[in-house]
Structures are given as structure tokens and as C-alpha cells.
Amino acid sequence: MKVLITGSEGFIGKNLHLFLAEKKELQLFLSSRNTSEVELDSYLREAEVIFHLAGVNRPKAEKEFEEGNTNSTKQIVEKLTSINKNTTIIYASSAQAGIDNPYGRSKKQAEEILCEYQKKTNARVLIYRFPNVFGKFAKPNYNSVVATFCHNISRALPIEIHDPSKVLNLVFIDDILSEFYQRLVHSTESRELYPSISPEYTTTLQELADTLYRFEKVRTSLHISSVGTNFQRALYSTFISYMPINECQYNIPSYEDPRGRFVEMLKTESSGQFSYFTAPPGITRGRHYHHTKTEKFLIIQGKALFRFQHLVTKEYYEVKVEGEKPMIVDTIPGWTHDITNIGDNELIVMLWANEVFNRDLPDTFVAEITK
């Protein structure tokens, strides 16, 4: 399928270009402000689907709204009509379309041109009225408060909040890309003129800022919120994308004694914490039990002997594990356990605990295995 992307160097355009370039069944044509009329005419003749993303939202002069939004759409439609094509057009409009300001009026006029084109040619037209869009590649200090906040907070620069309670309606760039691709794959389905985009997230300026500041503190506190799903996942990914590349690394504390080294990597809100420890040959670590806490051990390097003894029945169990044969070893509440390096090299062990260590309530009690 041959696909044209107008506004290919803009925020949505860059992301869509990269996303669709991964689909080998597609041939892409890219149009930007530097594309000549001759080139654009050639692309319009070839394209089977047009993602019309080109537009103006922060011009130097007010008249540029009409030129960049209304007239650019009119140019595309007139060319298609003149060559008797009814090419599918997927248009990135705005939730502000129809609002009585220069930008809103120009987007509404562009929509009306596309609606008339749809009526005359029976072409498939989809108009998305996007609210605020966020994700990687958006310009900070331009038209995205999320981009501005992410850029500034990741660089320890100040941000301005004039109305902390202001509500933001947001959609994530990756969700837009998935929606667009589904419209390509299912090109003969649904001719709804104004399809919706989901999920749409709602937050306030203050909530947005507070969340981003928490993300920034992860590097020092090692505590991270739940960032694996929904809005938190999308926002955390966006925040990290604005981090200066020369600051992608950071140091974390390391605690050492004759038994080896212990390093905490990450502490989560509801899924415990991740750490690792080392032990020289012949050294034993552990020698304790937990009432509630449980752990998972993974040998990264070396050979280890795990020993367990039941606190009440004194039942004994042991297992030998080596890094070349990945195996998870669980600690079980109510069983004393220890781990000994029985190899010739340093033992390196990855550790997950189901709760973050609390020095006031450690749930860790020293005990020896009596076998």
C-alpha cells in the first residue's frame, strides 16, 4: 500500500513515519514544508491513503493559520479532484476546531473542505479531533505543556504553573499510531467521519507536575511508582525520552563488608524491590528467616549452596545452583535460609523481594541452621 504523510517532520509526523517504516508492506511518501508542488503532485497521484498531518498552530502572523491549515487542505483536495481520485484521507484536526479563534476557525474550515470532498467523491475521510497529544519528539516550550514540563524537570529547570487546577485532556502518541495503523489494516471497515481516539487521559497541571517530579526523584530515592500500565506508563516513557543522553547513567549506593557487596537497584510501590549481592569463595550469607517476606534468587555468576531449615519441625533441605544453568530459588516464610559460595570465583546473585526493605520493621531475624 502506498501512503503519503503530510507534515512528516512534525511531532505526530515523525512518530508516524518511524512507526509505518517498520511495516514492510507499505511504501511511504513524505511531505514537509520543503516539499515542492511538483513533488507533492507526484505523491498525490501515487498515494492510496493520505495522513494529512500538516498544519500550523503557533505562527508568527495570524494569517498563517489559514494558509497552513485551511489552504493546505484545499490544495490537496483540489488536486485529487482534478485527477479524479477519491483517496482516503485521515486528518489530524484538533479539539479546538470550531472555537472562535484563528486557529479553531482554520481547523474547522479544513474539516469542512474534507467533508465536502467526501460527499462529492465518496472518498473515505476520517477526522480526528485530538486533544493535547504527548510523547517523544514533541517540542518543549512550543505547544505541549507535557513536553515543556518533561524537558525542564529532567534538566532541573523551573516550570510555571499559573492555574494548578486547570484540567488537561491528553492522548498518547503511541495510541494514535496504533489507531492509525488499524485504519490502514481495516481500510474497508467503518466510514465514521469523526472517529474517537482512546484512551483519553485526564489530569490537572499540578498533578502532572507532581508526577513528573516523582519520576525525576527515582534516580536518587530508587523508589518508583507503578509505571507499567495506562497513563503512568505513557507519561513515564515520555519523561525519560526528554532526559539528556549524557545523563542516562547514574550512581547508586553500594554497601560492602567482608561477606561481599550489596546493591539496591529499584524499589516499587506495590511489587517489592530489586537488588543484587556478591560473595567471595567460601563465604556464607543469609543465616536468617522471615515471617512474611519472601524472596527470589537468581545466580548470575558462580556456584552456590542454598540451605533451608523449618523453624518448627527442623526439616532440612539444600540445593546447589550455578549461573550456567538459570534457576530461581525461592525463600519460604518460616524457614531459616543461607547461601554459600561453593565455587572458585566471586558469586553474583540477583535478588527480588516482595516488599521494600523497612529498617523499622525488617522482618529479618538471625538464626543458624543446626544440621
Classify residue 251 by burial, with Cβ atoms within 10 Å: 0-12, 13-18, 19+: exposed
Residue 255 falls in the annotated catalytic set: no
> In the structure grid, which three cell numbers stand for residue 302, read together?
558462580
Runs of H (alpha helix) within 22-157 = 37-46, 63-65, 72-82, 102-121, 145-153
Task: Note the Cα 259 to chain centre separation in Å.
Answer: 39
Nearest to 183 by CA among 370, 368, 1: 1
- Of 92, 90, 73, give the one whose Cα is nearest residue 173: 92
The answer to whether residues 43 and 50 touch, using CB atoms and an 8 Å cutoff, is no
What SS3 state is found at 13? helix
**Which residue from 279, 271, 282 is spatially nearest to 299, judged by alpha carbons?**
279
Tell me which of 91, 103, 201, 242 is the catalytic residue.
103
Separation in Å, CA 301 to CA 74, 264, 297, 322, 345: 65, 18, 12, 7, 8
Active site residues: 103
